[in-house]
Each structure stands twice: as structure tokens, then as C-alpha cells.
Amino acid sequence: MSRAFRSLSNFNYRLWAAGALVSNIGTWMQRTAQDWLVLTELTHHNASAVGTVMALQFGPQLLLLPWTGWAADHVDQRKLMMITQTAMGTLALALGAMTLTGVVALWHVYVFAFLFGCASAFDAPVRQTFVAHLVGDADLPNAVALNSTSFNAARMIGPAAAGLLIAGIGTGWAFIVNGLSYVGILCSLAWLRKDELHPRAPGSAGGRGMLDGVRYVWKRPDLMALLGMLFLIATFGLNFPIFIGTMAVSVFHTDARGYSLLSSTMAVGSVVGALLAARREHTRFSALVVGAGVFGAGCALAAVSPGYLWFAAALALTGVAALTFTNTSNSLLQLSTEPAMRGRVMALRLGIALGTTPIGAPIVGWVADHAGPRWALGVAAASGFAALAVGMRYLAIARSAGTA
């Protein structure tokens, strides 16, 4: 088997990847449909409303951080995921039913986004760390990269499928399909070969939970620099539902299919980045720095793109960079963290990666509404260049101390 796909030789990982791909396609269909519903059906191109939905959906990652990290280290991960996946599937079906019957209002979407975010807050750190149970540390970077490939392959398929469904039979059906897609991941979890899993040492029952994780990170300059870079890009840069949606409807005046095609185009770049990551034998901090710099450049090019096709090309480049950055941060954290602390550290990473959205999304949405979507992309570009500066400073200090 090709070096880039070596983790697929593992039965448990292969089964997990198949179920996750089905679920991820449904997730991207819902994300596309939800943004389109808010932007064009429940408001008149209001980017701030989209930002509010994002804030409510990702805010629980930070709000529930003390409990989600503890759960990832102490609760049976397989059973916890079956509960969270069932909850998210039920919420998707309920939102779909309300949309199809015409009773959905903007405040309903806000409530569902928050509830979905609460379930996802417990699910996300477990899904991140569960990969190590499937393949072990030797193939962990490859498995993480293949997970990203699956997620972004779904990102190519899901928005395109959602665009066709929205244009053909209505927005609500995208939510219904997502609800049904959770059957895939639930079946894969139920059919895993338990005797082939790689068990981890459970976290200590004592201590102060997430506070121990924070103290652990505080003593590690490499992790502090990594999370600082992640904070900048996640807060102000990874708000693409706002960037793509507002550019599509306000600048290029496209319909649902044109909007979904832009999301899929960005995903093409992300898949390329994931496959490149899967081929790497080693994960280095320098890749994080390169990813941040190219991300800033890609967002800057997107901000000044003169036409739809130029904008799509810039999104593809940004997708490669964003995937390189996020995938490298994931692998570096998992490989350099003690197994007993891994769940809490990954929960902290996800709290920063997703939980900072309530800070950045409303700000970026306000900029898009008042100064235009191109200026909002300029904010994203600045976040990439700021993260680049943080990473270069850390590398300079580490090399001078002989620890790089």
C-alpha cells in the first residue's frame, strides 16, 4: 500500500474512515445549507447573523472546556462518541423537519446551533484522540492526515450536493440527509474489533482536570507558540462561511450552486494539503510556520481577486495552507503530549480552534457588513501574517538555545 495510505491497512481504521466519510459529507451539507438558509432565506445577506450562528455553534467548545477535556481522558471514548453522534443526528433531523414545514425562524437556527455545538464540544476532542487508539503512535501522523483528507474530500462533495438539493427540492432536505448520515459513523463504532485497539493510560482521577492541562501547556514554550498561532488564525482567519458566502452573494451575485462550488473548490486545495501531509514521515514546527505564511498570502489574494475564477483559485491555495496549518498543529500536539494528558490538551486545542469563533466571527461579520467582504478577508490575511511572526520568533529562540 502507498506510504500515503498506510493506515488503511488497519481494519479498525479502515472501518472508521468509511463511516467518518459518510458522516462528514452530511456535516458539510448541513453547514452549507445552514449558512445559505440564514444568509438568503431568513435574512437579506446579513453576514452578522451568519457570524452569530457560528459563534453559538462553536462557542461551547470554549464554554464547556473544563468538562470536555476531562471526559476525553476518563470516559469510554467509543461509548461517548455513540451518544454525541446520536444527539447531533437527532438535532439535524429536527431542524430539517422544521425547515421543510416552513416554521423555522432565525432564532430556531440559533438554538439548534448552540445545542449542536454542545454535543460537538464533547465529541470533537474524543474524535481527535480516538485515532491513536485505532493505529498507535507509529502511524498517528499518517492517520491524522488521512482523517483530514476524508474531511476535506467530504467538503468537496457535501457543499456541491447541498447546492443541488437546495436548488432542486429545498434547503431542509440537506439537514435530513445529514441526520441520516450519522448512521455510518455509528455502525463503524459498533463494528470495531475491540481486541485490536491500542489502549491508552487513563488520566489521573485526581488533580484539577483542565487546569492540569493548562499548567502542562504553560511549561512548554513550543506548545504555547503553537496555540498562540492557532488562536490568531482560528479567531480571525477560519471564518470561511462568512467570507465565501458574502463574496458569493454580494460581490459575484451567484446562486446556491455557485456558492457551494466555491466551498468545494477550497476543499480541493485542502485535500491536496492533506495528501501531502499524509506522505510526510515526520511532523515539524517549520511546516506550521510555512502554513501560516501561505494562509496569509492566500487570503490576501482572495481579497483582491478581480473575478469569480480568480477568487476560486485563491481559495484553493488557502485551502492547502489552512489544512497544512491545522493538520500540523494536531499532529504536533498529539505526538508531543503525554498520553494521560492528551485528551485535555486536545480539548484545549479545540477550545482555541473552534471556541474563539464567538470572538472572531461577529467581528469579521461586522467588517463584511460595513466595509465589505474584501476587507473581511484582509483581516484573515493579517491573522496569517501575525501567526507567521509568532512562529518565526519561536523558531529563532529555539535555535539559539539549541532546542529546535
Q: Which residues of 55-85 are buried (b: 16+ CB within 10 A; e: fewer)?
A: bbbbbbbbbbbbebbbbbbbbebeebbbebb
**273, 322 contact by CB (below 8 A):** yes
CATH superfamily of 209-403: MFS general substrate transporter like domains (1.20.1250.20)
The kind and range of the H/E element at 301 are helix 285-303
* Overall fold of domain 1-197: Growth Hormone; Chain: A; (1.20.1250)
Q: How many CA atoms lie within 13 A of 383 on its CB side?
A: 25
Pairwise CA distance, residues 309 & 321, whole Å:
19
Domain with CATH 1.20.1250.20 in the chain: 1-197, 209-403
Q: pLDDT (tens digit, 0 to 9) for every residue of the chain, 404 residues total? A: 466 677 788 898 899 889 989 998 999 899 889 988 998 889 888 888 888 998 898 888 778 877 887 777 778 888 999 999 999 999 999 999 999 999 999 999 999 999 999 999 898 878 877 887 788 767 777 787 777 777 777 877 888 888 889 888 889 999 999 999 999 999 999 998 888 777 665 554 444 566 777 888 888 888 899 999 999 998 999 888 888 888 988 889 888 788 778 877 887 777 777 667 666 666 788 889 999 999 999 999 999 999 999 999 999 899 889 888 887 887 788 777 877 777 778 778 877 877 677 788 889 989 998 999 999 999 999 999 999 999 999 999 888 876 65
